[in-house]
A and B are shown apart, each in its own frame.
Chain A
C-alpha cells in the first residue's frame, strides 16, 4: 500500500533562518507531488507541484522553493524565513495520470516563525 511521510511535524524557527521540510512517498512510482500551505484562518493554498524528477511548477510567487531530487522525494526550502511563512504545510501525492481522482495528504508540518 502507498504511504506518505513528511517531517518534521513541528518546527519553530527565527526570522531569517533557513528551512527544509521533507516528504517521501512509498509504494508507488512516478507520483505527482504537491506542497500546500494553510495559514491561520485560511484555506489550503497550492504552492508547488511536480510531475517528475527535477520538474517543479510554482503556483504562487513567494519566499519558498521546492526540489524533487528523487522520484518519491519532495523538499520544501527557504533560505531566509519571514514571519508570513508561518503555517501548516502539507505534502500530497496523486497518481501519474493527473488530478482526476484523489490527492493523498501527509500528516503536515506546523511551522512557527518568530
Chain B
C-alpha cells in the first residue's frame, strides 16, 4: 500500500500557482519523495524528487518540510495541459507503489 496521503481532487485556475500537498508521516531517513503525473491513458511522467532540501526544475518546485513528514508540489503557472493525476510517492530502492494521487483540474 502507498505510504502517502493526498487529496483526491483539486481545482486551479489557469495562470495561477497549483499547490499540491502530500503527507508522508512515516517516511524513513533514506527515502526520497517523488512526484509523477499521469495524463489520461498515458504512462506516468516523472516531475521531480527530493530528499531533504527543496528542489526546483523546469516543471515544478518541491517544498519538503523540515521534519520531512509532508511536502508540496508547486506548479508556478498552471496551464490547461497540466490537468492530470499527480502522484506523490515516498520510498527507496526498487519497490515504488503509486497510490490514487490527486486529480488536478486546471480551468480556463
Contacts and interface: CB of A to CB of B under 8 A. Distances in A.
Interface of A: 32, 34, 36, 41-46, 49, 51, 57, 59, 88, 90, 92, 98-108, 110
A103 B95 contact: no
Contacts of B91: 99
Contacts of B49: 101-102
A46 B97 contact: yes
Given A49-B94, A51-B94, A99-B94, A43 B41 contact: no
B46 A44 contact: no
A103 B93 contact: no
B94 A43 contact: no
Nearest to A104: B46
Contacts of A105: 43-45
Contacts of B93: 98-99
B21 interface: no
Contact of B43 (A46, A59, A100, A108): A108
Contacts of A49: 94-95
A110 B41 CA distance: 9
A43 B100 contact: yes
Contacts of A59: 95, 97
Interface in B33-52: 36, 41-46, 49
Contact of A43 (B42, B92, B95, B97): B97
